[in-house]
Amino acid sequence: MLKHYTATLTEKNVLAPNVLQLWFDLVDDTLEFKSGQYILLEVGNGFRQYSIASSPQFNKKFELLIDTTPMGIGSQYLMNLALGDHIHFRAPLGVFVLHESNLPKLFLATGSGIAPMKSMLEFMHEMRSPQKRILLWGTRTFEQAYYTDIWKKLGRMKGFDYTFCLSKGDVRDHCSKGYIQDALNDIFLHNSPQSFEYYVCARPTIVESLKQYLAQKSVPESNIFHEKFT
Ligand SMILES: Cc1cc2nc3c(=O)[nH]c(=O)nc-3n(C[C@H](O)[C@H](O)[C@H](O)COP(=O)(O)OP(=O)(O)OC[C@H]3O[C@@H](n4cnc5c(N)ncnc54)[C@H](O)[C@@H]3O)c2cc1C
């Protein structure tokens, strides 16, 4: 059920240029949600949607991951928020959530589209999910990637692997050169595209191009779940 909440900013970190990690404590309340869902944040006279980046195992605090590049009212509001400030929001919203199936899962994200996937992957890790899962995360350079300690920690668990798909710059461990589609081409050399379930989160044009690519590979639409960061 959609509820109104108040929360206090308790931690604010710059993870990369134009990328903020914000942690909030709920004020006299708990937030029940599913990994992948988002909040509707009051900003000035309007609202902005932000995915919850932390696992639902925490219900007294939660994390947001903000790309401030658009620099509109949402970005400016969150950039100017100081520790101890209150936010008001409604939650939980969204149908971009984990589905129960036995298919291995491929998580495809660019930029801050990683937010709902971090929540999903941490949750699966905490639940000791036996399902195979692979994250392909597109960023321009390695310097623009973050949460690297988290991916390393999750990567120690059997069944999870991750690759940063870098369109520019030098590659290193867990990196490949090119776009997400290039990394998928490599995976499909040894696996059938139809043998996976897909979770896609990015700006609308990228989501559409990935969906088109998967359609060309004859992946049924019912195996593709997506969230567009408009
Ligand atoms: C379901 C959902 C979940 C979302 N979750 C997140 C999240 O977890 N983290 C997050 O950072 N955002 C997320 N977004 C996007 C977020 O809601 C805002 O739309 C975004 O932050 C821009 O808000 P703004 O007020 O700063 O800019 P706006 O005032 O909305 O836009 C300012 C201008 O910038 C343009 N613009 C938009 N995006 C970009 C861009 N990437 N680069 C350059 N220009 C741009 C717009 O077209 C507009 O002209 C989500 C969106 C949806 C729909």
Task: Per residue of the chain (230 residues), give pLDDT as tens.
Answer: 789 999 999 999 999 999 999 999 999 999 999 999 999 999 988 999 999 999 999 999 999 999 999 999 999 999 999 999 999 999 999 999 999 888 999 999 999 999 999 999 999 999 999 999 999 999 999 989 999 999 999 998 888 999 999 999 888 899 999 999 999 999 999 999 999 999 999 999 999 999 999 999 999 999 999 999 99
Task: Determine the pLDDT at residue 170.
Answer: 87
CATH architecture of the domain 105-228 equals 3-Layer(aba) Sandwich (3.40)
For the chain, the structural domain boundaries read 3-93, 105-228
CB atoms within 10 A of CB 192: 10
- Name the residue at shortest CA distance from atom 27 of ligand 1: 72
Q: Is 113 in the pocket of ligand 1 (CB under 6 A)?
A: no
Q: Which of 214, 200, 37 is nearest to 105 (CA)?
A: 200
DSSP letter for 127, please: T
198 touches 214 (CB < 8 A): yes
What pLDDT shows up at residue 1? 72
The pLDDT value recorded for residue 158 is 83
Half-sphere exposure of 193 (CA within 13 A, CB side): 17
In whole angstroms, how far apart are CA 20 and each of 23, 122, 146, 206? 10, 19, 11, 22
> What pLDDT sits at residue 105?
97
pTM of the full predicted structure? 0.96
CA of 79 to the centre of ligand 1 (A): 13
**What's the gap in Å between 50 CA and the centre of ligand 1?**
9
Contacts with 159 (C-beta within 8 Å, 6 or more apart), sequence order: 129, 130, 131, 132, 133
> What is the atom index within ligand 1 of the atom nearest the CA of 115?
8
Question: What backbone torsions phi and psi does residue 205 show, to the nearest 5 degrees?
Answer: -65, -35
On the question of a common fold for 3-93 and 105-228, the answer reads: no
How far is ligand 1, taken at its centre, from the CA of residue 49, in Å?
8
Q: Ligand 1 atom 48: the closest Cα is on which residue? A: 70
Q: What pLDDT, on the 0 to 100 scale, is given for residue 120?
A: 98
Length of the chain: 230
92 cis-preceded (ω within 30 degrees of 0): yes
CA distance 224 to 108: 11
Q: Determine the atom of ligand 1 nearest the C-alpha atom of 227.
A: 1
CATH H-level, domain 3-93: superfamily: Translation factors (2.40.30.10)
What CA–CA distances, in Å, run from 97 to 37, 120, 214? 7, 8, 19
Side-chain half-sphere CA neighbours of 27 within 13 A: 12
Tell me if 229 CB under 6 Å of ligand 1: yes
